[in-house]
Amino acid sequence: MPSRLARPRPPLPRFAVAWFPAFKGVDRVEAFRARHDPMAGVVAAHLSFVFPFSTAHSRLQVETHVRQVVSRWPPIPVTFRQVRMHANEFLFLAASRGAASIAGLHDRLYTRSLQPHLRRDLPFEPHITLARYAEFARLEAAFAEAEEDLADEFSDVIREVTLLGLEGNGKIESLATIALNTA
């Protein structure tokens, strides 16, 4: 009896939820990221509410969950001002005003079907990633540059989030823009 060739299963879909700022000065943040963040050419400056995860759930199931949570959450006034190093590999532009509300929405999104994807080993810190370097000397140099170039406050209001689809080839696609509760 001939053996059948097993077809490999397609990879599970990957999703994430993020907010893309439009604050005054975002062009300076993007210019800095273009020099220091390898992901700058793939995805614009953003704050991740739900980090990339693989799931057997459909896009509709994930989007429905995100919509149910986000539509009940009020807009979040935010200010980003502090540049800080994280894990000796990343530079973050940390949220100061609005950080607790961002963390609350993050926690609420990681309920129900998304709960198994929460990384409990990593505390959530609301931020926009500015740089990533494996070599600490390069990270320190980028930190010094960021403290000079990005010394301002960057303020905005989070009024919507974006459901993202991540493809195996590295492409990131915007699947849905979901408004926070504006009633």
Is the CB of residue 131 less than 8 Å from the CB of residue 149? no
d(CA 140, CA 31): 18
4 vs 119: CA distance, rounded Å: 39
Q: 12: which residues sit within 8 A by CB, 6+ positions away?
A: 54, 55, 56
Total Cβ atoms within 10 A of residue 130: 25
* Backbone torsions φ then ψ of 167, nearest 5 degrees: -95, 160
Q: In which element (H, E) is residue 65 found? A: helix 59-70
Kindly report the pTM of this predicted structure.
0.92
Q: Any idea where the domains of the chain sit in the sequence?
A: 14-179
Model confidence pLDDT, tens digit, residues 51-97 = 999 999 999 999 999 999 999 999 999 999 999 999 999 999 999 99
Q: Which fold has domain 14-179?
A: Cyclic Phosphodiesterase; Chain: A, (3.90.1140)
Tens of pLDDT, residue by residue over 132-161, are 999 999 999 999 999 999 999 999 999 999
